[in-house]
Amino acid sequence: MKMQWESRKVAYVGLCLFVLAAIAVTLKLWFAPPLIIKDISFNVAAYNNFLIFKWAGFNFLNELPLYISNDPLHYDLFKYSPTCAMAFVPLSWLPTGLGLLLWNLVNMILPLWALNQIIGLNRSAKNILAIWLLGEGITSLLNVQSNGLVLGLLLWSIAAFQRDKNGLTVLLILLAGFIKIFGWIFFLLFLLKPKSIPKATLYGLIYGGILVLAPLLFVNPSYLISEYRWWLLLLKHDSGTYIKLSFMGWCQSWFSIVPPKNVVLFVALAIQIVPLLWLHRAAKRSGQVHTQLIQFGAALLVWVVLFNHMAESATYVIAVGGVVLFFSGEAQERRWPAWTVLTLVMLFSVLGPTDIYPKELRYWIVETAQLKAFSVLLAYVYMIWSLIRNKALA
């Protein structure tokens, strides 16, 4: 009982740290001087991405174009679905400072809360490894992106799936995908329980239709159809050949080659699916479905970032969330490969973009040498190796 109380105390302290981090980042962004960007004729707020979301809600409600420049209100374009723009309407009503704080709190706290809903985690390990999530979460917040929200929804979907709540699982995955489309890869979870696929398909059709049509509660059909067309066109052009922090970026940096994007995705998807052959057999033999689900879901969280050629530094909170989930698994014997992987992820992914390194070295770690992506690649290789061996050798 005493050990359980001590563990909960550590969890409460962790929650307080996540809340304080969200508040501190909000204050830093709010009082930061405007950014000066080359070829941009106006100053850009340090919390520019939040302004994109805020004005998307305003534009949606007033049936204004969502996918055009709003200079000088903010820099860059809104790139999420019209349904997502509808969800941002409350942000357009709130004072900017308050909205920014609430947005950061959601992106910081939801992943931690969802992680605690997953069955079968080692509480002590999870509390320690939350430091990895805290550090990467701060990097994401400094960019005021939605990656924490996406991570929270996907972790929550794993917890719901563990409890056989197929409808909630489908809804959470759909919501994540309406924010960032790669979240829909999490429908692969249902391959772990093939008998649930027909019911999940029905839920997907119902909830998907509701989410697509929900904006009609506020706007005219002609406007909604037009914005969906513009959104799809934007996604088509936005998924060009530009390479950022990813497996392909690492190949380009280390070997001066850029493998074809579609080939990489096909091979990577096959690699991700192959362990299912072992997981079915392992689950039947041991009855540890939760363990198999945690391992597979954690690998998926890393997959969606590592093989997204447009992944940015702030996106890696999703991958680090997968690392935290995997190594928080129950009954895992800690061995030197696991500690090596965790150390490299901390040094290069979590701490790589921070002021702990001089500016020149920081740029070399993250951009030039792609060590941020490489450390996560090593973690992914370790996960797949563990899945195929039917063990969590952490």
Q: How far apart are CA 83 and CA 92, in angstroms?
A: 15
Write down the pLDDT at residue 393: 34
Side-chain-side CA neighbours of 155 within 13 Å: the count stands at 31
Specify the residue for token string 């740290």.
Answer: 17
Instruction: Using CB atoms within 10 Å of the CB of residue 77, give its burial: 0 to 12 exposed, 13 to 18 middle, 19+ buried.
Output: middle
Rounded mean pLDDT of 180-190?
Answer: 90
Both tokens of residue 3? 């050990």
59-92 per-position pLDDT tens digit: 999 999 999 888 888 888 898 999 999 999 998 8
Are 118 and 162 a contacting pair, CB within 8 Å?
yes
Type of residue found at 384: I
Domain positions in the chain are 17-388
218-233 per-position pLDDT tens digit: 999 999 999 999 998 8
Q: Which residues of 367-388 are buried (b: 16+ CB within 10 A; e: fewer)?
A: bebbbbbbbbbbbbebbbebbe
pLDDT at 377 over 70: yes
pLDDT at 321 over 70: yes
7-55 per-position pLDDT tens digit: 567 777 888 999 999 999 999 999 999 888 777 778 888 899 999 999 9
Write down the pLDDT at residue 285: 56
Rounded mean pLDDT of 326-335?
Answer: 69
Average pLDDT value over all residues in the chain: 87
Task: Report pTM.
Answer: 0.92
Both tokens of residue 111? 């992943």
Instruction: Using CB atoms within 10 Å of the CB of residue 66, give its burial: 0 to 12 exposed, 13 to 18 middle, 19+ buried.
Output: buried
